[in-house]
């Protein structure tokens, strides 16, 4: 089931990326804080509902046990939200999601794993494809910037800071997923349900702090029902998180790069709904990634 859970996570987070981009306002310096509030709110509602429906006896100390993982994830996501204000989604998302390769390498180095030829090939195709999409997009964007007639949306222009945020996300998220692999799979330090609730409740507390900071310290307005797009992103983020913990608990070293391929889904969706460009070569890279995903699925059945 880990393969299905990983695919569902990839699709949900790909959709979340689309709405993150639509909800990121380059003119609003507090846009990323508002996204944190919406994501934390939805995760908090889901955590309370899941705990009550499933009759789970949640130990608040699990929030402390799982805090190293939660902190890395929340920090990386916040940096990602900031970066999306300045970078085209089709560039930012693939750069960020190279973190799957970071996680796989770390798990392979520090823990004993034997991967089949099919699995290695699948991981290489997925990771290589995700990085290739980012490189192709950057080249295309640079060509447009050099053209005298090119007039780009402010949030699509590339600068040093804009590139820095996705790179930081990649490193920090990769470390977070590595820690998650240790907690959920390698050493089984916490159960899937406990990890899910600990993370979502922690994010909810961050949302409360962010709301207090925005409303009473920065004196900024925040209207819940005017943030529908951010709310859609938060819903898909939460759906993905739900399936993510179960995928990572069963096969972290392979699930991590597979889940990172959600950037491919976000690229496709960005072409459909945000009208971002996609060349034939980029379509070819997407096909390669899909082949890699298929190989991992076949290897799971062998």
* Reported confidence tier of residue 136, pLDDT bands at 50, 70, 90: confident
Residue written as tokens 């082949």?
291
Environment class of 128 (CB within 10 Å of its CB; exposed 0-12, middle 13-18, buried 19+): middle
User: 269, 15 in Cβ contact below 8 A?
Assistant: yes
Alpha helices in the chain (DSSP H): 2-23, 31-54, 61-65, 67-83, 89-96, 99-110, 117-146, 160-181, 192-212, 228-260, 262-273, 280-301
Band (pLDDT 50/70/90 cuts) for residue 151 is low
229 within 8 A of 23, measured Cβ to Cβ:
yes
pLDDT of residue 72: 96
Contact of 88 with 276, CB cutoff 8 Å: yes
User: How many beta carbons lie within 10 A of that of residue 236, not counting itself?
Assistant: 21
- Where does the pLDDT of residue 141 fall: very low under 50, low under 70, confident under 90, or very high at 90 and above? low
> What's the CA gap between 100 and 229, in Å, rounded?
27
pLDDT in the model for residue 56: 95
Separation between Cα atoms, residue 195 and residue 65, nearest integer Å: 9
When pLDDT is cut at 50, 70 and 90, the band that residue 269 belongs to is confident
Distance of CA 128 to the CA centre of its chain: 18
Residue 79 near residue 165, CB atoms below 8 Å: yes
Report whether pLDDT(159) > 60. no
- Residues 104, 123 contacting (CB under 8 angstroms): yes
- Work out the average pLDDT over 64-75: 96
| Contact between 196 and 245 (Cβ < 8 Å) | yes
Is residue 165 a contact partner of residue 81, using CB atoms and an 8 Å limit? no
Query: Quick one: pLDDT band at residue 85, thresholds 50, 70, 90?
Result: low
Among candidate residues 260, 219, 295, the one with its CA nearest the CA of residue 131: 260
* pLDDT for the residue numbered 147: 64
27 band by pLDDT with thresholds 50, 70 and 90: confident
Tokens of 261: 């391929």
CB half-sphere exposure, 184, CA atoms < 13 A: 28
Residue 138 phi/psi, 5-degree rounding, is -65, -40
pLDDT band at 80 (very low <50, low <70, confident <90, very high): confident
Owner of token pair 């046990």: 65
Give yes or no for a contact between 90 and 286, defined as CB atoms under 8 angstroms apart. Answer: no
């Amino acid at each position: 089931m880990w393969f299905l859970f990983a695919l569902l996570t990839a699709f949900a987070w790909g959709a979340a990326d689309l709405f993150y981009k639509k909800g990121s306002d380059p003119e609003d310096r507090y846009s990323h804080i508002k996204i944190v509030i919406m994501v934390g709110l939805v995760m908090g509602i889901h955590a309370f509902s899941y705990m009550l429906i499933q009759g789970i006896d949640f130990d608040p100390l699990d929030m402390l046990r799982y805090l190293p993982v939660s902190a890395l994830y929340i920090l990386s996501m916040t940096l990602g939200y900031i970066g999306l204000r300045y970078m085209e989604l089709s560039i930012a998302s693939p750069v960020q999601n190279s973190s799957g390769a970071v996680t796989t390498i770390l798990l392979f180095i520090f823990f004993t794993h034997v991967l089949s030829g099919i699995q290695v090939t699948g991981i290489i195709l997925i990771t290589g494809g995700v990085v290739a999409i980012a490189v192709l997009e950057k080249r295309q964007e640079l060509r447009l910037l050099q053209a005298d007639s090119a007039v780009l949306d402010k949030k699509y222009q590339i600068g040093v800071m804009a590139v820095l945020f996705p790179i930081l996300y990649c490193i920090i998220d990769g470390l977070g997923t590595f820690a998650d692999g240790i907690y959920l799979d390698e050493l089984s330090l916490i159960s899937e349900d406990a990890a899910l609730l600990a993370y979502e409740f922690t994010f909810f507390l961050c949302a409360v702090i962010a709301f207090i900071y925005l409303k009473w310290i920065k004196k900024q307005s925040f209207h819940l029902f005017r943030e529908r797009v951010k709310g859609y992103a938060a819903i898909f983020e939460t759906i993905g998180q739900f399936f993510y913990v179960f995928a990572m608990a069963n096969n972290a070293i392979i699930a991590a790069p597979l889940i990172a391929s959600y950037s491919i889904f976000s690229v496709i969706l960005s072409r459909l709904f945000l009208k971002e460009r996609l060349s034939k070569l980029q379509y070819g890279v997407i096909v390669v990634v899909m082949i890699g995903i298929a190989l991992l699925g076949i290897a799971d059945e062998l």
